[in-house]
Chains A and B, each alone.
Chain A
Amino acid sequence: MIRRLLCSAFCLLLISAGSWAQGGGELRFCLRGEPKTFDPLKVDDEPSLSIRYLTGGVLVRIDRKTQELQPELAKTWKLSKDSREITFTLRHGILFSDGTPFSVGDVAYTVERLMDPALHSSTGDAFRSGSGKVATKITGSDQISITFPASVTGLDRLFDQVAMVSAHSPHKESAVLGPFMVAEYKPGSSVLLRRNPNYWKKDTQGRQLPYLDSIHLDIQPNRDIEMLRFTRGELDIINAIDTEYFDRLASTNSKVVHDAGVSLDSEQLWFNQVNTAPIPAYKRAWFQSTNFRRAVSLAINRGDLARVVFNGHARPAVGPVSPANKFWFNAKLTSDPNDPAAALQRLQKDGFHLQNGNLLDKDGNPVEFSIVTNAGSKARERMAVLMQEDLQKIGMKVNVVPLDFPSLIERISQKFNYEAAILGFANVDLDPNGQMNIWLSSAENHAWNPLQKSPQTSWEAEIDRLMRLQASSGDPRKRKESFDRVQEIVVEQVPFIFLVNKDALSAVSPALENADPVILHPQTFWNAERLTLNSAIRASR
């Protein structure tokens, strides 16, 4: 009897040891391009961003589910009232992946390197608010203060993007503090990440995180191949999936698809208002008229766009901020209803009139214009075709012109040889400061009339003032007031006719446990340290 018990206990021990040794398996998914860098401070492309998220350790992290700031390597932090200085208190006993201890010296080194103009870091650019040097002051063995030359809006949240690098490790930036580390890189083919043996986090039961042994990232820009490999079980997640693929997968297995709700991304139409654009003067006058733009907005059936083009996986857009952005969205605003009669009333104010079903302006010119968009984007082409029918109801004739992407960009940003365009914003930043390059009249991405020396209209001047005001204030309430007003002006003046906000769609293999897709990047692997594959799939690989 005793021998049998001992034997059973030994077997149990072997099984448990085996399961610990096996770990959580290897997660596989695709990067949609080549990562340009593995240096976390130089990242500015999406594949590198994903790798930085999986490998980099940050002082504070925006919880992708709650959108709240959470402590990470820093257990506490304190922000000065003028939003110029931030003081972090670090956790003890943390090691880089190569065993080098993490200290306040590493934080100082990271910040100095980040703010070095020679590095040309886009992450660093977000911290630049005034001329002068950034000062770091070590005030204790675990405390460091960082002082910026001028107030930096959303300073604490910006540290979500700053992965710490070691000042002393011989492995430089390949020594990381995140849950995974880069083990192998085959250019043009794949990146292999392995579990960081020195990762500091444990789960509630005291088990070392991450659960996964490794992550295999295939470099694959072709969405069809990605989809095919997912259906074959060769991939475990698709991070952002098109509506069409989503529905196709849902028809075969509804458990693998996830609609996390409305995302930060938007699709919009705008008219060319550039004074020097090579378009007829009478057309420019239409496009510069608020009544004309509002009429177009009122004639578009956004509900149909969301339902028909995106199969219901989108919401009619209200304005420049998606309702998914919980703090910054102006909840008082509503999207324009589909009201052709109201649209015609607006047009009559500017002298437009219907003749045999065709809309003519006050000089008798028929209202006809083209909408350009990028060829190959089925959703945008379909939206354009639906709008073509909607606008025909108020007598407008629309020609839809898909162009290859380089030609499109040349037309809309250099030659301004277009009349209207449909494109989208893929927003990753919750803070309105991330949209300064769109709303300032002097900005390059002020799509309807970029690079203005001085604001052409009074409402653009007001937007400039409000955007600068919110950017210079440290008080979140005042910032919100200013940006709420910006949203109101945009909805009144409709320089962009916001069409829909797309849902955040993803596909996750049922074999992946603890997956909880969200709307913020990286939607499916934001909690990568807690993801694990079930035993059946681990055994099969």
Chain B
Amino acid sequence: MSSVRRLALAILLAVGGLSLAADWLSPASYRTQFREAPNSPPSRQHLLGTDAMGRDRFSRLLYGTRISLTLAPAAAAVSTVLGILLGGLTGYLGGAWARLGMATTDLFLSLPWLFLLITVRALLPLNVSPLTSVLITFLILGLLGWAASARVLCAASQSLRKSSFVLQARASGLHGVRLFLVHVLPNLKPVLLAQFWISIPVFILSEANLGILGLGVTEPLPSWGSLLRELEGLLSFHQEPWKLAPLILLMIVVTSFQLVLSKEETAA
């Protein structure tokens, strides 16, 4: 493992660990409103100051990181599983199945994502708790974000299908799902892992985009998306640099996710 990969992994573990320890590290609850001190600058009591409603920004950053870092991998797992089913499996079956799988994938890729997400979000029931809303948001992201992975997995399983060891296994009498599970799927692992790791920052950024539109995780629960909304209309960075904390953390984490992949996984 290269030193860069080790550093990226250490950063991810440190950020993840800190966010998991939010209950002990944060000076206040993410929803406590210090109404006498809205928009206050960093102080001993509020390390990153307070937001427009007087909530401790450091606490919200820790809890928001926990939510984004827990649920983005979960959404990535959902999309990767769908990618295997709709890309990997159809590619392995070949013929009409592969064509059908790719047609569905192309349809999903051509959909206007943002509008689709806004529409799906608007159709959901109104009376859901913030925690349910965050789960729904990431589930939607996972259910809608499988198409790119599926295309890659389809191509990979199509090439495996014609490989000599699969032909040999087939000649030995191994067929169907068993052949796929025993010989094809293990060989898809590097591609699967790459797709999984690549999807995580994509979902983090998608949630952030939804949050900027005010349609992501609902208040008072924080997420990186809702924290980034504070940067809307910011005219100068030097006046309130502490507001950039969620953006800097997002950049570090997304970069770390990219760097954590090995050369082989990146190539896959």
Closest A residue by C-beta to B39: A311
Asked if A231 and B126 sit within 8 Å, CB to CB, the answer is no
Asked if B235 and A401 sit within 8 Å, CB to CB, the answer is no
Asked if A384 and B219 sit within 8 Å, CB to CB, the answer is yes
* Residue from B38, B232, B235, B239 within 8 A of A308 (CB atoms): B38
B103 within 8 A of A: no
Determine the chain B residues whose CB is within 8 A of the CB of A399 once the complex forms.
126-130, 133, 218
Asked if A385 and B127 sit within 8 Å, CB to CB, the answer is no
A224 within 8 A of B: yes
Closest A residue by C-beta to B118: A404
Closest B residue by C-beta to A280: B127
Asked if B214 and A224 sit within 8 Å, CB to CB, the answer is no
Asked if A370 and B215 sit within 8 Å, CB to CB, the answer is no
- Bound together, the chains give a CA A324 to CA B233 distance in angstroms of 30
Asked if A388 and B215 sit within 8 Å, CB to CB, the answer is no
- Bound together, the chains give a CA A307 to CA B34 distance in angstroms of 13
- Bound together, the chains give a CA A400 to CA B35 distance in angstroms of 19
Interface with B: A57-65, A137-145, A375-383, A429-437, which one? A375-383
Query: CB-defined interface of B226-268 with A at 8 Å, one 1/0 digit per residue?
Result: 0001001101000100000000000000000000000000000
Asked if B52 and A368 sit within 8 Å, CB to CB, the answer is no
Provide a sorted-by-A list of 10 A–B residue pairs whose CB atoms are within 8 angstroms. A227-B235, A375-B214, A375-B215, A376-B214, A381-B214, A382-B53, A384-B219, A385-B53, A399-B133, A418-B126
Question: Given that A381-B219, A385-B53 are contacting pairs, would A248 and B126 also be in contact in the complex, using a CB cutoff of 8 Å?
Answer: no
A309 within 8 A of B: yes
Asked if A308 and B214 sit within 8 Å, CB to CB, the answer is no
- Bound together, the chains give a CA A376 to CA B211 distance in angstroms of 10
Determine the chain A residues whose CB is within 8 A of the CB of B27 once the complex forms.
none
B5 within 8 A of A: no
B residues 132-153 touching A (CB-CB < 8 Å): 133
A109 within 8 A of B: no
B220 within 8 A of A: yes
Asked if B33 and A402 sit within 8 Å, CB to CB, the answer is no
Ranked nearest first, the 6 interchain pairs of A and B with the lowest CB-CB distance are A375-B214, A407-B122, A370-B126, A402-B214, A385-B219, A400-B219
- 18 A-B pairs besides A304-B35, A311-B39 with CB distance below 8 A are A224-B232, A224-B233, A244-B52, A308-B33, A308-B35, A375-B214, A376-B213, A381-B214, A382-B52, A382-B53, A385-B219, A385-B220, A386-B53, A388-B220, A399-B130, A402-B215, A404-B213, A419-B127
Determine the chain B residues whose CB is within 8 A of the CB of A386 once the complex forms.
33, 35, 53
- Bound together, the chains give a CA A407 to CA B126 distance in angstroms of 12
A369 within 8 A of B: yes
Determine the chain A residues whose CB is within 8 A of the CB of B232 once the complex forms.
224, 378
Query: CB-defined interface of B207-222 with A at 8 Å, one 1/0 digit per residue?
Result: 0000001110011100
A7 within 8 A of B: no
A228 within 8 A of B: yes
A286 within 8 A of B: no
Determine the chain B residues whose CB is within 8 A of the CB of A418 once the complex forms.
126
A77 within 8 A of B: no
Residues of B within 8 Å of A, CB-based: how many? 27
A299 within 8 A of B: no
In the complex, what's the smallest C-beta–C-beta distance from A277 to chain B, in angstroms? 12
Q: Is the interface of A mostly helix, strand, loop or mixed?
A: helix
In the complex, what's the smallest C-beta–C-beta distance from A401 to chain B, in angstroms? 5
A residues 515-530 touching B (CB-CB < 8 Å): none
- Bound together, the chains give a CA A407 to CA B122 distance in angstroms of 7
A159 within 8 A of B: no
Asked if B235 and A228 sit within 8 Å, CB to CB, the answer is yes
Asked if B52 and A309 sit within 8 Å, CB to CB, the answer is yes
Determine the chain A residues whose CB is within 8 A of the CB of B129 once the complex forms.
399
A residues 345-403 touching B (CB-CB < 8 Å): 368-370, 372, 375-378, 381-382, 384-386, 388-389, 399-403
Determine the chain B residues whose CB is within 8 A of the CB of A223 once the complex forms.
233
- Bound together, the chains give a CA A388 to CA B32 distance in angstroms of 11
B54 within 8 A of A: yes
A38 within 8 A of B: no
Determine the chain B residues whose CB is within 8 A of the CB of A311 once the complex forms.
39
- Bound together, the chains give a CA A248 to CA B239 distance in angstroms of 10
B31 within 8 A of A: yes
- Bound together, the chains give a CA A407 to CA B218 distance in angstroms of 17
In the complex, what's the smallest C-beta–C-beta distance from B222 to chain A, in angstroms? 11
Closest A residue by C-beta to B210: A375
In the complex, what's the smallest C-beta–C-beta distance from B125 to chain A, in angstroms? 9
Determine the chain B residues whose CB is within 8 A of the CB of A381 once the complex forms.
214, 219
- Bound together, the chains give a CA A307 to CA B235 distance in angstroms of 23
In the complex, what's the smallest C-beta–C-beta distance from B90 to chain A, in angstroms? 35
In the complex, what's the smallest C-beta–C-beta distance from A264 to chain B, in angstroms? 25
* Residue from B39, B118, B126 within 8 A of A401 (CB atoms): B126
Determine the chain A residues whose CB is within 8 A of the CB of B215 once the complex forms.
375, 402-404
Most B Cβ at <10 Å: residue of A251, A304, A309, A369? A304
- Bound together, the chains give a CA A370 to CA B118 distance in angstroms of 18
- Bound together, the chains give a CA A401 to CA B121 distance in angstroms of 10
In the complex, what's the smallest C-beta–C-beta distance from B241 to chain A, in angstroms? 15
